Amino acid sequence: MDFDFPPEDDPRRLEVRAWIEANPKPSGRDLVAAGYVVPHWPEPYGLSADPMHQILIDDELRRANVRRPGNPIGIGWAGPTILLAGTEEQKERLLPGLLSAEDIYCQMFSEPDAGSDLANLSTRAVRDGDEYIVNGSKIWTSGGHYSKYGILIARTDPNVPKHKGISYFICPTDLPGLTMSPIVDMTTAYSFNETFFEDVRIPADMRIGEEGDGWRLAKVTLANERVSLSSAGSLWGAGPSAEKLLELVRDAGGIDDELLRQKAAALHTEAEVLRLNRLRTLSARLNGQTPGPEASIQKIMADEHGQHTMEFAKELCGTAGLIAGSGPPGELPLSMRSGATEVNFERDAFEDVDPIWHYGFLFSPALTLGGGTFAVQRNIVAEMVLGLNREPNLEKGMTWSEARRAFKA
C-alpha cells in the first residue's frame, strides 16, 4: 500500500463532520445537495472530489452511520452514462431523482438470445415522430417490479453492422404495452422479471446520446456494473464477508476437523488477496495512475470467493445443512431456514432473508453469471490484459472439430 490516510484534523474531514452535525438525519435529497452521494462527479451533482477526498467522505459518513440512498443500477450504472452522454435538460430532469433514490432504476439489456453476445439483441425501436415504438422482450430484469425507469438498449437500425444499430433509452416502466412477468429463482425469491414490449411508445427525449451510439454507452454502463459488482463482501457486496463467517466460527469455539480448518485458512487467504488487490487499485488511483490488470481480475476472483464463502458456511453445518428448515442450534449460529419470498436488493433485502447463509448458498451460482459470465471475463483478461489473440467468431451449431479449426485459423 503506497499511501497514507490524512490526519484526523484534515480540514476536508472536519467539513464533513460539521455538515453531519448540522444534518444528523439527512434525507436522500440533503445528501444529493451536499454532493455526498457521488462526490467524484462534477458540480452541481458532486464535488469533483479526488480519490482521497472521497475516502474521507465515505469514512465520515460511515462513522456517523449515515447511509447513502440505495439505487445501485441508477446511481452506479445508469447515472455515469447519463452524465456522459445526456443533454443538460436530461441531466436536470433525471439525475436528482436518480441520485436521491426516489426513482429506482432497473436494467433492460439481456434477451433470451442476447446475453454474453449482447450486441445480438433483437428488441426493435422504430422512430415515429417524437416517439419510438418498441417491440420485443427482455429477460432477467432485476428489480423491474419496483423500478420507475429501466435502462433499455434496442435496435434502431437493422441494416448496419450489429454494434452500430443500437440506441440507449431511459424507459419509464409504467408505459402502456410494457408488462413484466415474475421469475422466481431457486432461492424462492422473486427478484427478476421477463419484460415484454408491445407497441410501447417511448418519448424520443428519453433517448440518451445519438441514435446508433447505444453500444458505446452500454459498454460504459457495463464497465461501471463490473466495478460495483466486485466490491468487498460476498454476494456482490450485499452479503456478509468471509471474515464475518470466520468470526462466527471463532465465536463458536473454532473447528477441530482438519479438512475444515484447511478450508477456513484458504478462505482467509483468498479474502486477504482480494483485500490487498483492492488496495493496489486504490493506491494506483490515489497516485493518479489508471488501475491495471488488478481491476480486471477483481470481479473474477471476488465472484468465485463469494461462492467459496457460501459453500463453506453450508459445509460447516454438516449434514444438517442439507435440510432447509433445520440447522445445528447451539453449534454455529447458522440455522438453515428457507422462506425468502421477495428479495429487494435496493432496500436492505437481506434483513428479510433468514438466514443469509442459506440464501447466499443458493444464490451464489449466479455470481459468476450476472454482470458478464466467468468465461467472458476470462476472455476479456486474455485479450485486453494478456494481449492474447481475439477469440474467433464461432458460428452457432459448429462441431468441436470445426471450432478447433476456426481457432487455429
Q: Does 107 bind ligand FAD (CB under 6 A)?
A: yes
Residues in 189-218 at the binding interface with ligand FAD, rule: CB under 6 A? 192
Q: Does 45 bind ligand FAD (CB under 6 A)?
A: no
Shortest Cβ 380–ligand FAD spacing (Å):
10
Which residue in the set 373, 380, 382, 406 belongs to the binding site for ligand FAD (CB under 6 A)?
373
Q: Does 71 bind ligand FAD (CB under 6 A)?
A: no
Q: Does 398 bind ligand FAD (CB under 6 A)?
A: no
Spatial contact of 61 and 36, defined as CB atoms under 8 Å apart: yes
Q: Which residues pair with 180 in a beta bridge?
A: 195
Closest CA to 12 of 51, 57, 50, 46: 57
Residue position matching grid coordinates 450485499: 238
Q: Does 115 bind ligand FAD (CB under 6 A)?
A: yes
Give the gyration radius of the chain's Cα atoms: 23
CB neighbour list of residue 262: distance below 8 Å, 6 or more residues apart:
none
Q: Does 281 bind ligand FAD (CB under 6 A)?
A: no
Residues in 168-187 at the binding interface with ligand FAD, rule: CB under 6 A? none
Instruction: Fill in the per-residue mask, 118 to 147: x = in contact with ligand FAD (CB under 6 A), - = not in contact.
Output: ----------------------xxx-----
Residue 359 phi, psi (nearest 5)? -60, -50
Rounded Cα distance, 30 and 37, in Å? 10
CB neighbour list of residue 91: distance below 8 Å, 6 or more residues apart:
45, 82, 83
Give the DSSP per-residue string, 63-80: HTTPPPP--IIIIIIIHH
Shortest Cβ 109–ligand FAD spacing (Å):
3
Choices 16-24, 103-111, 124-132, 208-216 (CB under 6 A): range interacting with ligand FAD? 103-111
Q: Does 369 bind ligand FAD (CB under 6 A)?
A: yes
Q: Which residues are at the interface with ligand FAD (CB under 6 A)? A: 106-110, 115-116, 140-142, 192, 366, 369-370, 372-373, 375-376, 379, 391
